[in-house]
Amino acid sequence: MGSVRVEKIQELIKQEASEIIMRELKDPRIGFVTVTEVDVSSDLRNAKLYVSILGSDKQIEDTWKGLNSSLGFIRRELAHRIRLKFIPEIKFLMDTSLQYSAHIQELLIKVQKDEEDKK
């Protein structure tokens, strides 16, 4: 199976899953979620959806629980929207790259301020 096909399917799942989470999920626990990346196995049986969740620690925890409780619904909706022989099993993984980059930015600002204070 060509990697180009897998890449196209990954992008399609990313778009559709984002749309489902944003527009179809009615769970009040789910806050601001962004699907940042999708990694589908070469046999198209498994998909890892990397999500970034914004909010307080409590909001992140509630959103995480809400997302995981809606896995079946999201997979079923994907089956209606995407024509594949098998819809992959979905697993959510937390993408903390945005939080990490914000932390690095804070550190850089602190270092810059310390350097200016030394002058």
pLDDT given at position 1: 46
**Residues contacting residue 14 through CB under 8 Å, at least 6 positions apart:** 35, 37, 38, 49
Q: What is the pLDDT along the chain (119 residues), one digit of tens a residue?
A: 458 989 999 999 999 999 999 999 999 999 999 999 999 998 999 999 999 998 888 999 999 999 999 999 999 999 999 998 889 999 999 987 777 777 788 888 888 888 888 76
pLDDT given at position 2: 58
Q: Which amino acid, one-letter code, is at 46? A: N
Q: Which residue has the tokens 């997979």?
A: 75
How many domains does the chain fold into? Answer: 1
Q: Which domain holds residue 65?
A: 3-118
CATH number at residue 45: 3.30.300.20
pLDDT given at position 117: 82
**Residues contacting residue 21 through CB under 8 Å, at least 6 positions apart:** 30, 33, 35, 67, 74
Look up residue 114 and give its two tokens: 């310390």
